Amino acid sequence: MSPSRRAALALPLAALAAPARAQSWPTRPIRLIIGFPAGGSTDLVGRAVAEALRPHLPQPLVVENRAGANGAIATEAVARAAADGHTLLIASSTHNINRHQVTLTYDPLRDFAAVAILSRQVMALATGAASPFTDLASFLAAARAAPQPITIGATEALTSFAGQDLARRAGVRLEEAMYRGGAPMMTDLMAGHLPVGFTSTATALPLLPGGRLRLLAVTGAARSPALPDVPTVAESGFAGYEVAGWGALLGPAGLPAAVMARLHAALGAAFTDPALRARLDALGLEADLRGPEDARAFLAADAARWDAAAAEGLVGRTG
């Protein structure tokens, strides 16, 4: 862990009241908007962080799900909101990829204040327990032999990219089915209506104890500590394959620096809570708290990565 991240996690509670300009904030409930339905990874991260933040803020924090357009509907609402710290966004990796997949009315970098990076996560290729696929190799063998493309589920831009990149590397044809969130896709997987789908570990892990879901591979460079028995796509024959997502807290551009500092101090206090760490661990998520300066640099580098991927034709438009 870098010194900057250790410092962020160690912010003292006294810093909550430090910035004079922020002492009047918040004056009413804070809306935390999430661009995906309840039960998906972005929602799970947002609600976990919101619960941990509540004891450190003097006003209620209200979570609001606004699903649609790969999260762009919620993101647009925050971009247009007053920059007073009372409307915030839980953003995911789709935030930067969306500019290459859907028509946006906002700029993912220019129109937002980066408050913090919150977490990192890998994806998992899941199938129903009654599926004939027992590992990635058996799935790809079936895809090569099938007269028609096998359907693969996705929920947003990152899981869509995970499937497209796998198909490209494996030389198979897959037909994408786009779902509005992880929860409905998991329902179809477990019922046998969908052969396979990429989802986050946060969505898949709570469903494994019931025995109705099977994971074929994870997308990290190394195996997930939460899923040590599930091989990576890379070790299954596709060296260099890696797809990882992130969660971030953003506000409208122009968010006062004092409000951002107070909010990040509250996050620093929240991330020392063992209950939050345990909740993230249980979802296969890595706590990765970074302050505004590091968050801005991270988001800029992430945007450049997806610009390059789009230039190579690895990210296609969906709308």
Place of tokens 């030389």: 171
What would the pLDDT profile of 245-280 be if each residue is shown by its tens digit?
Answer: 999 999 999 999 999 999 989 999 999 999 999 989
Q: Where in the chain is the domain with CATH 3.40.190.10?
A: 122-236
Q: Please give the backbone phi and psi of residue 209, each rounded to the nearest 5 degrees, phi first.
A: -60, -25
What would the pLDDT profile of 151-189 be if each residue is shown by its tens digit?
Answer: 999 988 889 899 999 999 999 999 999 998 888 999 999
Q: Please give the backbone phi and psi of residue 257, each rounded to the nearest 5 degrees, phi first.
A: -60, -35
Following DSSP, what letter does each residue of 239-255 receive, concatenated? TT---EEEEEEEEETT-
Instruction: State the DSSP code for 162.
Output: H
CB 1 within 8 A of CB 57: no
Q: Where in the chain is the domain with CATH 3.40.190.150?
A: 3-121+245-311
Q: Domain 3-121+245-311, CATH 3.40.190.150 — does that match?
A: yes
Residue 24 pLDDT: 85
The CATH number of the domain covering residues in 122-236: 3.40.190.10
Is the bond leading into 26 cis (omega within 30 degrees of zero)?
yes
Is residue 94 over pLDDT 50?
yes
CB 213 within 8 A of CB 129: yes
